[in-house]
Structure 1
Amino acid sequence: MKRAISSSLHRFHHFPLSSFASFTPSSSSSSFGPSNPRPFPDYSPKKLTVTDTHLVHRISTTIKQCRSDSLRRLLKPYESNFKPDHFIWVLMDIKNDYNLVLDFFNWARLRRDPSLEALCIVLQIAVAARDVRMAQRLVSEFWGRPHLNAHHLFDVFTERLIYTYKDWGADPHVFDVFFQVLVEAGMLLEAGKLFYKMLSYGVILSVDSCNLFLTRLGGSFEGMRKAIRVFREYAELGVCWNTMSYNIILHCLCKLEKIREAHGLLVQMEFRGNFPDVVSYSTLISGYCQVGEVEKVLKLVEELRRKGLTPNEYTFNNILVLLCEAGEVVEATKVLRQMSKQGAFPDNVVYTTLISGFCKSGNVSAAYKLFDEMRHKKINPDFVTYTSMIHGLCQTRKMVEANQLFSEMLGKGLESDEVTYTALIDGHCKSGNMKEAFSLHNQMVQKGLIPNVITYTTLVDGLCKRGEVDIANDLLHEMVGKGLQPNLCTYNAMVNGLCKIGNIEQAVKLMEEMDLAGFYPDTITYTTLMDAHCKMGEMAKAHELLQTMLDKGLQPTVVTFNVLMNGFCMLGMVEDGERLIKWMLEKGIMPNATTFNSLMKQYCIRKNMLATTEIYKGMLARGVKPDSNTYNILIKGHSVARNMKEAWYLHKEMVGKGFTLTAASYSALIKGFCKRRKFEEARQLFEEMRTQGLVADKEIYDIFVDVNYGEGNWDITLELCDEAIEKCLVKRN
């Protein structure tokens, strides 16, 4: 607050309100208060008696001749006759010597509290002497005391301040001091009254004072709405808002989720001569991050860069979180690199956010690179980082790496919890390694960690996927015996298990039991049953279930339609698949990469790359981003069709996005290049494939054994022969 008052002293704003007309942001009908402001009153103290005149003269003379350290001793003879009015009369004689005024004031208030009039006079003198700190202290001390009727006292204090203004200082910043103390004390109603009171005298409070007022108003949601109204009203009354003012209102608008209104205000700032700074942009970017508007965020970041501004670390982190939540992890990595270049150093939280984002998108290799980068930069991964990485590895069935990280985590003294164990258990269940999953469950219990419903549901799901429904049912009984109630996910896992073993009739009965238990079958339950019918080629029954879903008010998801699409494609009904996509779009359900992948795969099998390409273009046109499977399907399809230029381009694009080719895609590419007699490209891909740890088939090894033998590369030929025997023959047997 002291800084705000000090900076306001550089502005003089006691002049007629009409001179603010040029700053009016609204129409000419706006009101600026009275056209003829009220004059400040002339100060008229009580008249001195002859006795008073004599005493005041003697005190004044004594004060002027003494030092501050002897004031108390020299004035002792006058203490018994000294009255409050004498103080004001003496001040009139010594007011031009500020230090003397302070000494005398301190002497006087040791005996009794000064009158309100005397306090206001000293306050006026302090502000006129540019001693803002003292002025602020005097007002704060007065308003810091408990008052029986603060509202009445405010009116009296304001009137005394106005009454003493003209003859004791005539510096309008005295009202800023009073206003800011009121705001800091939370007396916002009184502060508002003071603003309008001073307006009637032609005094506009400083923008620093008004900014403080806006800030305090913005402390609650209702206060934010009030701050926005004040911002508009005060501008019409002549307050020249600055960039800080706009930033305060931008913050309020974003908190109230009026993001577009905030964006409009940012645009208006420049037209009003207040150029947005990094805080302005960061506030708006954070607002758009809250509502998930990725495109707006990226445009604002670009605009911010063009203006030579650098986002702060808080803004960077908001952007990264938003991009990761939206699946834009590649774009998030670019932001991370820009962050480092601009001197904003990413910390553990930033890296963990990105790692989690890559893991959720299925791009675990990119997450692992960031994890290694963290360690290289001496940024210690914490429990959350390790858990995110372990969860990502488990989701992609990379259980060896997940177990290694888990051991590393424990070795560093980081404690694991139910979430970490459940992630590992889930990974082993999905990999079909139920023995290891149950071993981890036992470790959990030994450590005193209590398996929750999610842990048990994960184990049940793992057993069901292996068709071990009876054992899963026993585990459910154990779970209930421990006081844990199955949830909808648990029931859905059992329905899925029954469908896996082809017992659809029992699955339907379980759905009926779910109804009785109060767990109503949801979209996942119906989609699971539809999938079972589709895999059995019973598309009519799948359609019936879809209709039942709709009749019950359940909304099918893109996964539901992907199940139907897979059913159509398995039966070669690609035309029905295309009609399904059209129907989805009409219903406002956006297909995802998996939907298009099923169709593209079928057209590739038919060697119809023209139709495949059209589907791919349609997918991109609708803003659907290709995934790893998309690229692998296209690369294999084009390679088989010997469209090597397209296949090579897709390979480069795929790698650039952090995706990895499968062994089958590498093999198709290599064979395609070999058939085109482009052995250098084929050799490069073969080496890349080996570096990735992927195993080529015997036909690929035969090609490169023959090529190297023909070139006379005996060592490489023998090495490839040994490798082929080990990986293609020994392991297979």
Structure 2
Amino acid sequence: MLLLHMKRHIISSSLQYLKIIDCHPLLGFGPTCFMCRRCLSGRVSPFGLTNTRPFPDYSAKKSAIKDTELVHQISTTIKLRRSEPLRRILKPYESKFKPDHLIWVLMDIKNDYKLVIDFFNWAHLRRDPTLEALCIVVHIAVTSKDLKMAHRLVHDFWAKPNLDVDHSFANFTERLIYTYKDWGSDPHVFDIFFQVLVEGGMLLEAKKLFDKLLNYGLLVSVDSCNLFLARLSNNFDGIKMALKVFNEYPAVGVSWNTISYNIILHCLCQSGMIKEAHLLLMQMEFKGHMPDIISYSTVISGYCQIGQLEKVVKLVEELQRKGIKPNEYTYNDMMILLRKTGKVVEADKILWEMASQGIYPDRVIYTTIISGFCKSGNISAAYKFFEEMKGKNIIADFVTYTAMIHGFCQSGKMVEACYLCCQMLRKGLEADEVTYTALIDGYCKAGEIKEAFSLHNQMVQKGLTPNIFTYTALVDGLCKRGEVDIANELLHEISGKGLQPNVCTYNALINGLCKIGNIEQAVKLMEEMELAEIYPDTVTYTTLMDAYCKIGEMAKAHDLLRKMLDKGLQPTVVTFNVLMNGFCMSGKLEDGERLIKWMLDKGITPNATTFNSLMKQYCIRNDIRAAANVFKGMHAEGVVADSNTYNILIRGHCKARNMKEAWFLHKGMIEKGFDLTAASYNALIKGFFKRKKFVEARQFFDEMRAKGLVAEKEIYDIFVDVNYEEGNLEITLELCDEAIENCLVGKLVNDANS
């Protein structure tokens, strides 16, 4: 969003036409002038240029006596009868009128701009003017300060279909230069030509024009050069050219401005050269160009993209020290970064700071935050902001509710998702296919396939049409329950309805086959996909690799990775996480360490899951020091820990009796909005109890019960005994009932179901 805003700002600024200003006493011409009058006189040339050539003298084609008489008659007629339509008063001359007559008439009326345009339009309707005549009228329009008309005339010429660009460029440039001296001598005409070429994507021709004008001692305006830079920055090769132009053009006299620097900052950030962009930002002031909010926001956005929160904070502090107020785009980028990293406390601070700057978050910003936290799995943080919206009387719309419902579904909290859906309906907001599909997918992921199909039927009854994503969710749900045959039947059924299964549908079936151990059939299904011209993707290969890794067939997993690479498919971090999990399950932790090093060497950033697998295995081996070193390495690479990271390390430190470290980790994860699992609560309670930290142990036990999490029987035994010894008979009996219900009855029910 920020980059789009910046580009719009740049292009808007670059399209402004610049007025000629006086010479700068030191530089020879103003920093934003096209070329001052002294420069145009030939006495002063742009920097680094010598022996500039003069513009040629114009000489029109000689006219015959009869042509001279006709031209005189036409000129006299249109001057004397200017209030009458030309099509009527020039009717007698139409049959005798030739293209050359247009130029000769223009020579007589060139000081009457309105008459020039009217006559040119009349002539143009009857026959296309010569290139020379067109250039003459463009010069007259520029001299008359009608830059829009000049721009339209040049644009219309270059917008013609089937135009031979190379031939036309050479001819147009030659005619524009040839007619320059005697028909206007206003350098803006070349500025307009340059802009039209850039706007039309003819960047090579624009570069040629720039170089040709240097021979005549002329420069196009810095705004036009900025437009050139901005257009170049649309692709990787163009970015390289933009950087080259930025470095070379000052040598011939182009004086870049803040907008120019902003474009290059954007180019550097687009290319991933964030440090170089930051360095250029610092250099701007020394070169006499004050960075503005766009300059800072561009670099801040770059750092946000790579997760460098510390750099972002420092840059925000720096721009505030300079009296530059962050705008909504700056804050939005920071919000995106915070939501990715799960930093709820920091997100709160940003919202407060926005309000202090008079920028009040609206429904769109809140929805962005909520959606981001939902996608990152931090549903508690998302719901906190959802509730905050209501507290500030910011009305949630359908998009906000759907994002929140989808978040609850992805987290397996179907009760909350359904409650929110009912709340949405009560507010008069209708659920659509996206909402139903999210709920169906949630039920399928939770293993509640009957509820999912019930919702599907309800959806159809309401007149909504299930799409391939709806059926893919159902296929996935059936496969997760091991009902692959039924899923396959559903696949044939939806094909009969005219819906084409996509790669995700096939991936769900392949995953189901792998889960029931039928890897051979999964491989055959992948081959069938290719025959149906539905080509396996990275997920397909990763699913099969995961299946091989889980049975210890690491060689086959590696072979699939090789085939995937041969097909030009790029492995994702999930692919490498599958390999990491395979190494860890096989006890090959050294190979796991080497995999992380290889990923980093190749520029592939591991995520928290990559490191979590290693840490978990080291904790299982009681090697908490090695686990802590992996955590330090993870932090050093800028990888943000997730809820699982903290829970793994807390259990590991509790097992090693390092309760101080476990406490600090617990504090850190709560600040980031993550929740302890039941296993982590059990580990903390046991650890503190063994260390005779009874207050802390009781605190965690009470907190665990308040959250509805089930403690282990051993934990209940501890607190039953403690409360009995303290004489708290009521609490003792309450805990006994809980222990029987959760640990005994619950176990019997689970055993019966299994």
- What TM-score do the two structures reach when normalised by structure 2? 0.67
Give the equivalent residue in structure 2 for 1:278.
293
Q: Offset of 1:13 from its aligned partner?
A: 5.7
Could you say if the C-alpha distance between residues 548 and 279 of structure 1 is closer, same or farther in structure 2, counting changes exceeding 3 Å?
closer
**Does structure 2 conserve the Cα–Cα contact (< 8 Å) formed by 1:464 and 1:496?**
yes
**Does structure 2 conserve the Cα–Cα contact (< 8 Å) formed by 1:362 and 1:396?**
yes
Could you say if the C-alpha distance between residues 472 and 304 of structure 1 is closer, same or farther in structure 2, counting changes exceeding 3 Å?
same
Q: Offset of 1:354 from its aligned partner?
A: 1.1
Give the equivalent residue in structure 1 for 2:215.
none
Could you say if the C-alpha distance between residues 196 and 235 of structure 1 is closer, same or farther in structure 2, counting changes exceeding 3 Å?
farther
**Residue identity opposite 2:367 in structure 1:** T
**Residue identity opposite 2:506 in structure 1:** Y
Distance 1:250 1:689 in 2: 52
Give the equivalent residue in structure 1 for 2:668.
653
**Does structure 2 conserve the Cα–Cα contact (< 8 Å) formed by 1:24 and 1:236?**
no
**Residue identity opposite 1:450 in structure 2:** T
Give the equivalent residue in structure 2 for 1:53.
none
Q: What is the CA deviation profile of residues 619-665 of structure 1, one whole-angstrom value per residue up to 9, with x for unaligned ones?
A: 22233222111111111111121110111111111111111110110
Distance 2:417 2:29 in 1: 67
Where relative contact order (Cα < 8 A, 6+ residues apart) is larger, the structure is 2
Q: Offset of 1:185 from its aligned partner?
A: 7.8
Within-5 A mapping of 1:515-534:
515-534=530-549
Question: Which deviates more from structure 2 when the two are superposed, residues 394-403 or residues 497-506?
Answer: 497-506
**Does structure 1 conserve the Cα–Cα contact (< 8 Å) formed by 2:138 and 2:150?**
no
Give the equivalent residue in structure 2 for 1:632.
647
Give the equivalent residue in structure 2 for 1:668.
683
Q: What is the CA deviation profile of residues 110-166 of structure 1, one whole-angstrom value per residue up to 9, with x for unaligned ones?
A: xxxxx99999xxxxxxxxxxxxxxxxxxx9x8999785478546656888x9xxxxx
Give the equivalent residue in structure 2 for 1:98.
none
Could you say if the C-alpha distance between residues 248 and 324 of structure 1 is closer, same or farther in structure 2, counting changes exceeding 3 Å?
farther
Aligned-partner SS, 2:634: helix
**Does structure 2 conserve the Cα–Cα contact (< 8 Å) formed by 1:251 and 1:283?**
no
**Does structure 2 conserve the Cα–Cα contact (< 8 Å) formed by 1:183 and 1:212?**
no
Within-5 A mapping of 1:259-278:
266-278=281-293
**Residue identity opposite 2:483 in structure 1:** E
Aligned-partner SS, 2:666: helix
Question: Which deviates more from structure 2 when the two are superposed, residues 431-440 or residues 617-626?
Answer: 617-626
Root-mean-square deviation over aligned CA pairs: 4.6
Q: What is the CA deviation profile of residues 575-611 of structure 1, one whole-angstrom value per residue up to 9, with x for unaligned ones?
A: 4434444454455544332222222222222222122
Q: Offset of 1:499 from its aligned partner?
A: 1.8
Q: Offset of 1:383 from its aligned partner?
A: 1.3
Question: Which deviates more from structure 2 when the two are superposed, residues 186-195 or residues 505-514?
Answer: 186-195
Distance 1:691 1:383 in 2: 32
Q: Establish whether residue 601 from structure 1 lines up as the match of residue 616 from structure 2.
A: yes
Distance 1:452 1:591 in 2: 34
Aligned-partner SS, 1:309: coil
Q: Offset of 1:352 from its aligned partner?
A: 1.0
Give the equivalent residue in structure 1 for 2:370.
355
Give the equivalent residue in structure 1 for 2:725.
710
**Does structure 2 conserve the Cα–Cα contact (< 8 Å) formed by 1:584 and 1:590?**
yes
One of 354, 357, 360 as aligned partner of 1:339:
354
Aligned-partner SS, 1:397: coil
Q: Establish whether residue 384 from structure 1 lines up as the match of residue 399 from structure 2.
A: yes
Question: Which deviates more from structure 2 when the two are superposed, residues 416-425 or residues 476-485?
Answer: 416-425
**Does structure 1 conserve the Cα–Cα contact (< 8 Å) formed by 2:440 and 2:456?**
yes
Distance 2:617 2:228 in 1: 62
Distance 2:322 2:284 in 1: 15
Could you say if the C-alpha distance between residues 233 and 543 of structure 1 is closer, same or farther in structure 2, counting changes exceeding 3 Å?
closer
Give the equivalent residue in structure 2 for 1:124.
none
Q: What is the CA deviation profile of residues 488-539 of structure 1, one whole-angstrom value per residue up to 9, with x for unaligned ones?
A: 2222211221222222222232223223222343333333233333333444
**Does structure 2 conserve the Cα–Cα contact (< 8 Å) formed by 1:422 and 1:458?**
yes
One of 496, 503, 520 as aligned partner of 1:488:
503
Distance 1:268 1:333 in 2: 33
Within-5 A mapping of 1:302-341:
302-321=317-336, 324=339, 334-341=349-356
Give the equivalent residue in structure 2 for 1:460.
475
One of 428, 433, 437 as aligned partner of 2:443:
428
Could you say if the C-alpha distance between residues 589 and 709 of structure 1 is closer, same or farther in structure 2, counting changes exceeding 3 Å?
same
Could you say if the C-alpha distance between residues 186 and 344 of structure 1 is closer, same or farther in structure 2, counting changes exceeding 3 Å?
farther
Aligned-partner SS, 1:624: coil
Q: Offset of 1:474 from its aligned partner?
A: 0.9
Distance 1:299 1:493 in 2: 45
Q: Establish whether residue 194 from structure 1 lines up as the match of residue 201 from structure 2.
A: no
Give the equivalent residue in structure 2 for 1:563.
578
Within-5 A mapping of 1:387-406:
387-406=402-421
Could you say if the C-alpha distance between residues 402 and 272 of structure 1 is closer, same or farther in structure 2, counting changes exceeding 3 Å?
same
Aligned-partner SS, 1:661: coil
**Does structure 1 conserve the Cα–Cα contact (< 8 Å) formed by 2:344 and 2:673?**
no
Give the equivalent residue in structure 2 for 1:696.
711
**Residue identity opposite 1:485 in structure 2:** Q
**Does structure 2 conserve the Cα–Cα contact (< 8 Å) formed by 1:179 and 1:194?**
no
- What TM-score do the two structures reach when normalised by structure 1? 0.69
Q: What is the CA deviation profile of residues 337-371 of structure 1, one whole-angstrom value per residue up to 9, with x for unaligned ones?
A: 43233221111111111111111111111111111
Aligned-partner SS, 1:194: coil
**Residue identity opposite 2:186 in structure 1:** L
Aligned-partner SS, 2:186: helix
Fraction of identical pairs, as percent = 62
Distance 2:110 2:553 in 1: 95
**Does structure 1 conserve the Cα–Cα contact (< 8 Å) formed by 2:564 and 2:570?**
yes
**Does structure 2 conserve the Cα–Cα contact (< 8 Å) formed by 1:445 and 1:451?**
yes
Q: What is the CA deviation profile of residues 534-567 of structure 1, one whole-angstrom value per residue up to 9, with x for unaligned ones?
A: 3334444444444544555544433333333333
Q: Establish whether residue 508 from structure 1 lines up as the match of residue 523 from structure 2.
A: yes
**Does structure 2 conserve the Cα–Cα contact (< 8 Å) formed by 1:533 and 1:541?**
yes
**Does structure 2 conserve the Cα–Cα contact (< 8 Å) formed by 1:33 and 1:237?**
no
**Does structure 1 conserve the Cα–Cα contact (< 8 Å) formed by 2:233 and 2:267?**
no
Distance 2:570 2:247 in 1: 45
Number of residue equivalences: 597
Within-5 A mapping of 1:123-272:
148=121, 152=136, 178=145, 194-195=186-187, 246-247=258-259, 250=262, 254=266, 266-272=281-287
**Does structure 2 conserve the Cα–Cα contact (< 8 Å) formed by 1:495 and 1:507?**
yes
Could you say if the C-alpha distance between residues 193 and 462 of structure 1 is closer, same or farther in structure 2, counting changes exceeding 3 Å?
farther
Aligned-partner SS, 1:479: helix
One of 431, 448, 469 as aligned partner of 2:484:
469
**Does structure 2 conserve the Cα–Cα contact (< 8 Å) formed by 1:17 and 1:238?**
no
Q: Offset of 1:228 from its aligned partner?
A: 11
Within-5 A mapping of 1:432-443:
432-443=447-458
**Does structure 2 conserve the Cα–Cα contact (< 8 Å) formed by 1:18 and 1:32?**
no
Could you say if the C-alpha distance between residues 710 and 18 of structure 1 is closer, same or farther in structure 2, counting changes exceeding 3 Å?
same
Higher alpha-carbon Rg: 1
Could you say if the C-alpha distance between residues 687 and 581 of structure 1 is closer, same or farther in structure 2, counting changes exceeding 3 Å?
same
Q: Offset of 1:296 from its aligned partner?
A: 6.5
Give the equivalent residue in structure 2 for 1:80.
none
Could you say if the C-alpha distance between residues 353 and 536 of structure 1 is closer, same or farther in structure 2, counting changes exceeding 3 Å?
same
